[in-house]
Amino acid sequence: MSERTVFDLSPAEKLQLVEDLWGDLHADRSQVPVTEDQMRELDRRKANLQSHPETGLSWQEVRFRVRARQIPKLAFQITFQGL
């Protein structure tokens, strides 16, 4: 029996893995390196969001949109690839 890799996971499993990893990183943010360029970009985005709060999305909305993108791909795989 061969071992599964992350590439063998379904789209839903991959998304869950990413969420789990992100949650783990978020728990100890002090250990995540951020470059000066990244910090400037984050500051720019934060200032934009503070100036235009109506443009922001909740985490629930972002997650819904990401998962909604997976549904057509999964349907295609099931229909045309016999999964």
Range of the domain at 38: 11-50+57-81
Short-list 36, 6, 34, 8, CA closest to 21:
6
The predicted structure's pLDDT at residue 43: 96
Amino acid type, 59: W
Q: Is residue 33 assigned to a domain?
A: yes
Q: How do the pLDDT tens digits run along the chain, 83 residues long? A: 678 899 999 998 999 999 999 899 888 878 888 899 999 999 999 999 999 999 888 999 988 888 888 766 655 555 555 54
Q: Is residue 6 assigned to a domain?
A: no
Q: Is residue 71 assigned to a domain?
A: yes
pTM: 0.44
